[in-house]
Amino acid sequence: MKSFSRIAVAGAAVAAVIAGTATPAMADTNRTISNSHGKFTFIDDGDMFEVCDTKADGHGVTGKLLESGSNDFVLTVTDGGDSGCDKKGYNIGNLREYQMWLSWNGGGATVKSIWFNE
């Protein structure tokens, strides 16, 4: 009887650990890419895209959203020269994949996210 109780307790503990690790995967998934001048964030709750210029250098930053199967950007958000970040909404789903691009308006390389969807 003691062995059965120990097995039951161990099984319950394993189930609790699995349930605890599975729950975060079901939550909204936000994504952020950044460089030394700013950041571009996808906020899954509400499909909002936010661009923040984090360096007062006279140049802003631009975030763009590329849709797979297209050479066109479906969203562009620019921030710079004012306080706070700029946001725009764009409804993405599971039928296409998207890639976020962040560039500094003063030149240099563009940072790109991995392809993703909801």
The range of the structural domain enclosing residue 59 comes to 28-112
| Number of domains the chain contains | 1
**Weakest mean pLDDT among 9-18, 24-33, 35-44, 108-117:** 9-18
Cα gap 65→33, rounded to integer Å: 12
Residue 66 lies in a domain: yes
pLDDT of 10 strictly over 80: no
Tally of residues, the chain: 118
Q: Which of 8, 9, 32 is nearest to 85 (CA)?
A: 32
The DSSP code sequence of 48-60 is: EEEEEE---SS--
Q: Has residue 40 been placed in a domain?
A: yes
Residue 105 lies in a domain: yes
Whole-angstrom CA distances from 41 to 34, 63, 84 are 9, 9, 14
**Each residue's pLDDT tens digit, 29-55:** 899 999 999 999 999 999 999 999 999
pTM: predicted TM-score of the whole model, two decimal places: 0.74
Q: What is the mean pLDDT of residues 57-77?
A: 94
Assess whether pLDDT exceeds 90 at residue 7. no
CATH number of the domain bearing residue 80: 2.60.40
**Phi, psi values for residue 19, rounded to 5°:** -65, -40
In a domain, 90, yes or no: yes
